[in-house]
Amino acid sequence: MLAAPLMARVKQSQIKIMTKILLVEDNEMNRDMLSRRLERKGYDVILAVDGSSGIQLASAASPDLVLMDMSLPVLDGWEATKRLKADLATRHIPVIALTAHAMAGDRDRAIEAGCDDYDTKPVDLARLLGKIETLLGQSAGHRPNPGGSEF
């Protein structure tokens, strides 16, 4: 029967184009919960537990979007975002800042650090997904050609 192998091939190609989200979060419970919920929505989620490994993983794995907790060990989310946005290899990746408290001025500070959007924890998944999809839609036409010369 022809249908089964065809289906398998379609599934494989779908896995290949899954949107990859890098979640940088030091709190294990938040990390597990949010990554599981995003995976259930069909995202491929990769994880980092501090700002420094977040930067390394962003360079190595080229995620389509970064969810960046701002309060992180080793290197905080503010500084990690600044470095991602200062690097030509990673600056195109949209970053959504996540902060635990809705502090007055946090939003401005996040945008100043180079974040593309901002949200507060605990995460309202529907609201966060809306922000993720908006940014992915905006960046879809602006992905650099891997291996191609931009300059």
26 vs 64 by CB, closer to Mn ion? 26
Q: How far is the CB of 14 from Mn ion (least distance, A)?
A: 33
Q: Which residue is nearest to Mn ion (CB)?
A: 71
Binding positions for Mn ion, 3-42, rule CB under 5 A: 26
Contact between 120 and Mn ion (CB under 5 A)?
A: no
In a 3-state reduction of DSSP, which class is residue 69?
strand
Contact between 69 and Mn ion (CB under 5 A)?
A: yes
139 contact partners, CB below 8 Å, separation of at least 6: 64, 65, 92, 93, 94
Annotate 69-103 with b (16+ C-beta within 10 A) or e (fewer). bbbbeebbbbbbbbbbbeeeebeebbbbbbbeeee
30 vs 139 by CB, closer to Mn ion? 30
19 vs 71 by CB, closer to Mn ion? 71
Binding residues vs Mn ion (CB under 5 A): 26, 69, 71
